[in-house]
Structure 1
Amino acid sequence: MMDSDSPVIRRRGGRASVVAARESEKRPRVSTIKYGIRPVEAVTAEQLERIHQASLAILREIGIEFRDETAIRQWKEAGADVQGQRVRLDGEMLMHLISKAPSRFEMTSRDPLQRFEIAPNTMTFSAMQGAPNVRDLQGVRRASTIEDLRNMNRLTQMLPGFHIAGGFTCEPTDIAVPWRHLHINHSSLVETNMPFFGLTTGKQRAEDSIAMGQIVHGKAFMDQNAVMLGHVSGNSPLVWDSTMLEGLRAFVEANQVVLLSPFVLGAANTPADIPATIAQLNAEALAALAYTQLVRPGAKMIYGQYSVSVSMRSGAPMSGMPEVTLINAVIGQLARRYGLPWRTTASQSSAKTFDAQSGYESAIAYMSGASACANLMMHAGGWDEAGLVCCMAKFVADAEQNLLIEKYAQGISFEHFDDALEAVRRIGPGGHYLGDSFTLKRFKDAFFAPEILDYLSYEQWKVKGSKDMAQRCREKAKSIIASYEQPPMDPAVREELDAFVAKRQEEISPSIA
C-alpha cells in the first residue's frame, strides 16, 4: 500500500519542477549590448566640423559662466581666460583636457554577475528620473510617495530590460526635501542590487550619496569600481552653477561616473535653428566635460544632453519631434568624434495618459536614440507628461521595449545563415517551414516574442477580457511587485545603512527654509 504522504510529495515535486522550469525560462538581465548596426549620420563630415568649430568659437569668444568659486579658481590655475564668472576657453586646452577621459568603462553591482560596459559601441538602459507624480497601479495620477519609489525600484530589479536603477525614478513627496535624498538612495541600495543614480544637487546630498554607497559596497571597492552615476545638468544658455558642480566634484573625487547634460528647449534657451542649437549645446557640454578632467584626469564621464523643441502655441516642451531626432544623430556624430560615450532620452512623451500619443512619441525617441547609436538610453521606462509623471503601466511596457530595441541594436547575425539556406533547399517551392528541423531548433530565439503586446485574434482578445494595453500592463506590474524578493544584504551592512539615514536626519533640519 502506498504511504499516505506519497501524493503530497509528488505534488510538491511537480510544483517544484514547474517553478524550476519557469525559472530556467526567465530572461537574464541585459548585460553589455554591443551595436551591430551602423549609426545614422545626419550631417556630412564637413558640416560636423563646422558645428565643432562653431562650438569652439562660442567658448573662445563668448565664454561660459561657471557660477562656482572653486571652479573659477581651478580654471584660473589652469591658465584659462577668467573674468568674474565668465570663462573663455582656448580650443587646444579644451580638447587636451577632454582627451584625458576614458572612452569606455565598466559598471558593477552587488551581483558579481551583473557587470556591463559603457562605451562608444555599446547600449545601456536606465529607468526614468525625477517625476513628482505617478500614474499608479489603478491608473490614477497623483503625487508620488516613498512607497511608490520603492515599487518602481522593485519593478526595475525584477524586469530584465534595465542595466541601471533610476535612483529618483519618482520623487517621494511625503518626505521632507532636505531628507529626501537619504531615502532615495536607501531605496536604490536596498530594493535593487544594481548600479544606480545618486543625488548631485549640492555638496551635502552628493557626499551623503557617496557615503551610503560606500557603506554597502565598501570604500575600497568603490575607489576601484564604478557603482553609481551622478546626473549633472547645465543651465542653458551657457551656465554651469555651483549646486551641480559641487555634486560633480564629489562624484568624480570618489571615482564614480558623472553624466553632464545641457538642457535644451529648442527656440526657448537655444536659437530657433537646428545646427546653431547643436553648436551651443556642444559648447556647453564640452566646457563641463573639460572641467571634469580638470578636477580629476581620467574621470569617468558621459556626454549628455536633453533636447526637446518648444511649442510656439503653448510654450510646452514637445517630445517625438523630427528636430530632436536630427539633434540626436548629430550629437552621436560629435561624441564619436571626441571618443566619448553619450546619452539620450529613450522613452519621452508629453502625453497626459498612457495612450497612442505616449506610444508614438516614445517609439520615435527609442528609434532615434538607437539608430544614432546612443550609449546610455536614459528615462527608458515610465516617462509621460514631459517627465512630470512616471506611469507604472508604461514602465512595464517600456521595459519590454528595451528588449526589442536591444535586438534591433545588435543588428543581423549571420551565424545560422548557411544552415537556414539549407532549409530553403529542403522545403522548395510551395512548402512551409513550421515543421522543418531548422525552425524547430531556432524558433525560440530567432524572433522576439513580446509578452505585453497583444497578438490574439479579436475573438480571443474578447474571451480574455477585452483588456487594453494599459490594463494589461497594470496587471503585470501588480504581479511583478507581488512576487518581488529583496536582494540579499549582509544584516550588519543593512543596520549600518539604516543608522546612517537616522543619524543624518537628526543632523539635517527638515525645514526647507
Structure 2
Amino acid sequence: MSRVRAGRSGREARRQAQAVIAGRLPPVRRRLKPQEFLEPEGLEQIHLASLDILEEVGIVFRDEKALKHWRDAGASVDGERVYIGRDLLMELVSKAPSEFRMKGRGEKTGFVMGGNTSVFCPMKGAPFTRDLDGVRRSTTEQDVINFARLTQACSSFHMAGGFTCEPMDIAVPHRHLAMIRHHLIETELPLFGIGTTRERAQDSVAMARIATGGMEDAVSILMHASGNSPLVWDEAMLEGLRVFADAGQGVLCSPFVLAAANTPADVAATIAQVNAEALAAIAYGQLYRPGTPMIYGQYTVSISMQSGAPMAGTPEVALITTVIGQLARRYGVPWRTSANHASSKSFDAQSGFEGATTLMTAMNAGANLMLHSGGWDEGGLAICYGKFIADNEQNLMMARYAGGISFDRFKDALKAVRRIGPGGHYLGDEFTIAHFRDAFAMPEAMDFSSFEQWSAAGSANMAARCRAKARALLAEFKAPEMDAARREELDDFVARRKEQIDPAAL
C-alpha cells in the first residue's frame, strides 16, 4: 500500500509541476499533513469556551429578520443579543457542506473548495495603488481593469478578487457595477461579489449569472461577509448572505480580528472568540438555508501597542491561523486564511518577510482558500503592481512545495548516479538534459546571476523587475473570449442599473 501511495503522490506532484510550466496552476492538492499546534485536550478547551461564549455571553445580530429566524429556531433573544445553545449551534453547523464545487465562466476553471485542496485569490478592497512607476496614489478604474487582467494572466490564481481594488474615480453607488463587470470580462475565473448592501449583492449575483450562463451546477461567485468583532454581525452582511444563499452561491464568514484591540490580549482567548463569531455566522447561514456553501473565515492581525497599527507576519498570527485550521477541520467546513499579507509601506524586505511568513503559515496550516495572496501591502490599504507579480511567483513555488516529492522518475534518476559515479557531474547527462526544465523551480522575478552579470544588465532590484513584468503582461494581454450575446446582456444590465441608481445616493 505504501508504494501505491508514493506513486500517486509522485504523479500528483509531477502533474502540478508540469502545469505550472504549461499554463494555469491546477488547484493545489496538498500532500502535506496539516500542522497542528494543539493537542486534542487544548483544542477541546477552546471549542468549549466558544460554545460558552455563544450560550452565556451571546452574540449580537443587528438584523430583524435574523432575530426572528433565531427566535423561531428556539434560541434565546434579548433585544439584538442572541444566546445560542450548543446543541442547536452544532446541529446547524453540521449542515454546512464539507466541500463544494466552484467554477467560473471558463471551461477549465472548476475546482473543489475544501478537503486537501488549496486555491489562491488576490487581495481585495485597496483604495490606494502603488503603480507601475512605484508611486503610491488613489486607485482608479484603470487599475481595476489592469489587476483583473493580471489575475487572468498570472498562472497561480484560481479565483478573481472581484473588488481587488476600489476605484476612487467612480461614484460609490456605481463602483460595484464597474468592479464586477471588469472582472467578469477580463477574467474567466470564479470571483468574489460585493454584499455591502442587499442591492449590490443582487447585482453581483445577477451579473455573474449572465456571464456564466447559469450557476445551477456550481458556485461561481462568493460573498465575503465580514464580522464586526467583538461578537457582532451587522444587517448589511446578513442581507447579503441571504441574497447569495437564495441564489445557491457561497458565503465566506470572516470575523475581522485586530488582536488585543477587538479581542483579548491573549492568543488562546482570541481564538475562542474568533471561533464563536465564525460558528455563529455559519450556523445562521444553515438556519436560513440548509446546505448553503460556506467557508469558515478569519482575518487576523495583531496590533502594535506603540502605534495601534496592524502587524502581519507575527508569530501570534501564525499560531492563531494554525489553530483555526484545526478547528475548521474538526467542524468539517472549508476554511480561509490570508497569504502574502504585508504591512510594509513599500515593496521592500519587510514586505517580503511578512508575505513569506503568512504564505508558508497558510499552506502548512492546510488552508483551502488563500485569500489576499496577490498584491497586498500597507495592511491592505494599498495594492502593489510589483508585489502582485512577486506574490504570483511565490504562490507557484509554494504549490510545488505542497505537492510533495515525486517518485515517477526515481529509478531512472538513480541510473544516472550509476553512470556518473564518484567525482563526475550531471550537467551533460541524458537524464538532466531530458528533465532539467521541470525538475526544479526556476523563478523569474528573483535574480540568481553573479554581481557582475546583474550590474551589466542594469542593476534592477526585484521591485523594478516585477513592475517591468507587469507592464509586459498588460501590453500583451488578450481577454478570454466571452459569448457575444452574454457580453451584450451584461453591458445592458450595467447600463440599466447605472440609470436606476442615483450616483449621489449614500
Q: TM-score, normalised by structure 1?
A: 0.93
Report matched runs for 1:276-355 at 5 Å: 276-355=269-348
| 341-350 or 436-445, which deviates more | 436-445
Report matched runs for 1:256-275 at 5 Å: 256-275=249-268
Aligned to 1:122: 117
| 203-212 or 29-38, which deviates more | 29-38
Q: Find the aligned partners of 1:36 and 1:280 in 2 and give their Cα distance.
A: 31
Q: Find the aligned partners of 2:386 and 2:179 in 1 and give their Cα distance.
A: 21
Is it true that 1:174 corresponds to 2:169 in the alignment?
yes
Q: Measure how far apart 1:34 and its partner are.
A: 0.8
Q: Secondary structure at the match of 2:215?
A: helix
Q: Find the aligned partners of 1:418 and 1:301 in 2 and give their Cα distance.
A: 44
Q: Find the aligned partners of 1:36 and 1:26 in 2 and give their Cα distance.
A: 20
Aligned to 2:478: 485
Q: Measure how far apart 1:443 and its partner are.
A: 1.4
Q: Measure how far apart 1:441 and its partner are.
A: 2.5
Q: Measure how far apart 1:406 and its partner are.
A: 0.6
Q: Find the aligned partners of 2:151 and 2:141 in 1 and give their Cα distance.
A: 15
Q: Find the aligned partners of 2:21 and 2:44 in 1 and give their Cα distance.
A: 47
Is it true that 1:507 corresponds to 2:500 in the alignment?
yes
Q: Whose radius of gyration is greater, 1 or 2?
A: 1
Aligned to 1:215: 210
Q: Find the aligned partners of 1:79 and 1:322 in 2 and give their Cα distance.
A: 41
Letter in 2 for 1:416: R
Q: Measure how far apart 1:26 and its partner are.
A: 5.7
Q: Secondary structure at the match of 1:224?
A: coil
Q: 1:244 aligns with which of 237, 242, 246?
A: 237
Q: What per-residue deviation string (whole Å, max 9, x for no partner) do you get for residues 326-380 of structure 1?
A: 0111011101111111111101111011000000100001011111111110001
Q: Measure how far apart 1:94 and its partner are.
A: 1.0
Letter in 2 for 1:439: T
Q: Secondary structure at the match of 2:210?
A: helix
- Indicate if the aligned counterparts of 2:20 and 2:396 stay in contact, CA closer than 8 A: no
Aligned to 2:42: 47
Aligned to 2:469: 476
Q: Find the aligned partners of 2:244 and 2:80 in 1 and give their Cα distance.
A: 23
Is it true that 1:162 corresponds to 2:150 in the alignment?
no
Is it true that 1:467 corresponds to 2:460 in the alignment?
yes
Report matched runs for 1:43-442 at 5 Å: 43-218=38-213, 221-442=214-435
Q: Measure how far apart 1:438 and its partner are.
A: 2.4
- Indicate if the aligned counterparts of 1:106 and 1:226 stay in contact, CA closer than 8 A: yes
Is it true that 1:446 corresponds to 2:434 in the alignment?
no
Letter in 1 for 2:345: K
Q: Find the aligned partners of 1:106 and 1:299 in 2 and give their Cα distance.
A: 12
- Indicate if the aligned counterparts of 2:21 and 2:438 stay in contact, CA closer than 8 A: no
- Indicate if the aligned counterparts of 1:167 and 1:197 stay in contact, CA closer than 8 A: yes
Letter in 1 for 2:306: R
Q: Secondary structure at the match of 1:408?
A: helix
Q: Secondary structure at the match of 1:460?
A: helix
Q: Find the aligned partners of 1:422 and 1:486 in 2 and give their Cα distance.
A: 46
Letter in 2 for 1:406: A
Q: Measure how far apart 1:53 and its partner are.
A: 0.5
Letter in 1 for 2:31: G
- Indicate if the aligned counterparts of 1:202 and 1:247 stay in contact, CA closer than 8 A: yes
- Indicate if the aligned counterparts of 1:40 and 1:329 stay in contact, CA closer than 8 A: yes
Q: What per-residue deviation string (whole Å, max 9, x for no partner) do you get for residues 222-273 of structure 1?
A: 1332111110000000000001111111111111111010011010000000
Aligned to 1:456: 449
Q: Find the aligned partners of 1:78 and 1:496 in 2 and give their Cα distance.
A: 41
Letter in 1 for 2:369: L
Aligned residues: 488
Q: Find the aligned partners of 2:85 and 2:164 in 1 and give their Cα distance.
A: 38
Q: What per-residue deviation string (whole Å, max 9, x for no partner) do you get for residues 137-184 of structure 1?
A: 111100001111000001001110100001111101100001111111
Structure 2 residues not aligned, in runs of 5+: 1-18
Q: Measure how far apart 1:25 and its partner are.
A: 9.6
Closer/same/farther in 2, CA of residues 200 and 416 from structure 1, 3 Å limit:
same
Q: 1:34 aligns with which of 19, 26, 29?
A: 29
Q: Measure how far apart 1:512 and its partner are.
A: 4.0
Q: Find the aligned partners of 2:73 and 2:412 in 1 and give their Cα distance.
A: 61
Q: What per-residue deviation string (whole Å, max 9, x for no partner) do you get for residues 375-420 of structure 1?
A: 1100010000000000011101111111011111112222323332
Closer/same/farther in 2, CA of residues 25 and 79 from structure 1, 3 Å limit:
closer
Structure 1 residues not aligned, in runs of 5+: 1-23
Q: Find the aligned partners of 1:240 and 1:371 in 2 and give their Cα distance.
A: 30
Letter in 2 for 1:307: T
Over 6 Å off, 4+ runs: none
Q: TM-score, normalised by structure 2?
A: 0.95
Q: Measure how far apart 1:487 and its partner are.
A: 1.3
Q: Measure how far apart 1:426 and its partner are.
A: 2.7
- How much identity, in percent, do the aligned residues show? 58
Q: Measure how far apart 1:130 and its partner are.
A: 0.4
Q: Secondary structure at the match of 2:200?
A: helix
- Indicate if the aligned counterparts of 1:120 and 1:342 stay in contact, CA closer than 8 A: no
- Indicate if the aligned counterparts of 1:31 and 1:115 stay in contact, CA closer than 8 A: no
Q: Measure how far apart 1:423 and its partner are.
A: 2.5
Letter in 2 for 1:413: S
